[in-house]
Amino acid sequence: MSSYYVRPMSPEDVPQVNEIDREAFPGQWPPPNYKRELQNQVARYIVACEEGIVLPPPRATKAFHPTITSRLRSWLFPQPNHTADASQGRDFIVGFAGIWLMVDEAHITNIAVRQQYRRRGIGELLLIHLTELALAMNARLLTLEVRASNTAAQNLYLKFGFCKAGVRRGYYTDNREDGIIMSTPPLTSTTFQESFRQRKQEHTRKWHIESYRLATPPHQQP
C-alpha cells in the first residue's frame, strides 16, 4: 500500500497543482493563480505527496541576459527569490487543498485529488490537515461551498461534522449550479473535538497513517 505525506505548498509545486486543478475543476473560470495565492497573507495551501516518488528536476532553460529595462524594474520592484535547487528532484503531488482565514472563520477554498488517486483516503487526509491548520490559526469554525450535485463531497463533510447552513443560488459560474453552504460547529467545542478525534482514528486504522503533522519531504531532510 502506498503512503502519503502532507506539507505546505511551495512555488515549485504550482505546475503540478495547476494540472490537478484543471482536472478537478474543468469548468472554473478564470482559473486560480496559485503563485499569487501563495503570497496572500490570509491563505494557507497544502499538498499531499506520494512517499518514495521523486520527479526529475526541471530541464535547464536558456541563460537569461537582462536588459537595462529589466534590471531597472528588478531594482525598483524587487521580488523574493523562490528558485529551487535545480539539482533536486520534485515531489510527486497527488492532491492539494487550501483555506482562507477570514476574521475568525477558516474558509476552505478547495480540496482536489488526482483522478487516479481518488478513493485512497487522500481527500480525508487533506481535510484533517486543514482542520488542524484552522485550529492552529485559532479559527472559530470551518466553512465552505460545495456543488449541489456533488453528494460524495457533501457526505465527506457531513462525516467530519459539517452541517448544511444554506444555499447560494447560481453560485458556480460555469453552469449556474447552486452552492451548498456547509459549516462546522465551533472547532473547540467538546462535541466537535470528540467527533474529529474519532474520524481521525478511523482514518488512521483504515489507511495506516503514522502521523498527521505537516512533513518535510524525505529527499529534502538534512
- Domain assignment of residue 73, yes or no: no
Per residue in 129-170, pLDDT (tens digit) is: 999 999 999 999 999 999 999 999 999 999 999 999 999 999
CB atoms within 10 A of CB 43: 17
Residue 178 lies in a domain: yes
Mean pLDDT, all residues of the chain: 86
- Which single residue is written with the C-alpha cell 481518488? 118
To which residue does cell 461551498 refer? 145
What is the residue range of 95's domain?
A: 4-55+89-220
The total of structural domains in the chain comes to 1
- Determine contact, residues 108/143, Cβ cutoff 8 Å: yes
Burial class from Cβ neighbours inside 10 Å (0-12, 13-18, 19+) for residue 13 reads buried
| 146 three-state secondary structure | strand
Could you tell me if residue 68 is inside a domain?
no
State how far the Cα of 8 lies from the Cα of 13, in Å rounded to an integer: 10
In a domain, 82, yes or no: no
Residue 106 lies in a domain: yes
Residues acting as catalytic residues: 145, 157
Give domain status of residue 62, yes or no.
no
Strands 163-168 and 179-183: antiparallel
Which CATH number goes with the domain that contains 191?
A: 3.40.630.30
74: in domain: no
- Decide if 177 is inside a domain: yes
The pTM score is 0.83
CA 155, distance to chain mean position in Å, is 19
Q: What is the mean pLDDT of residues 90-106?
A: 95
Over range 52-73, report the average pLDDT: 62
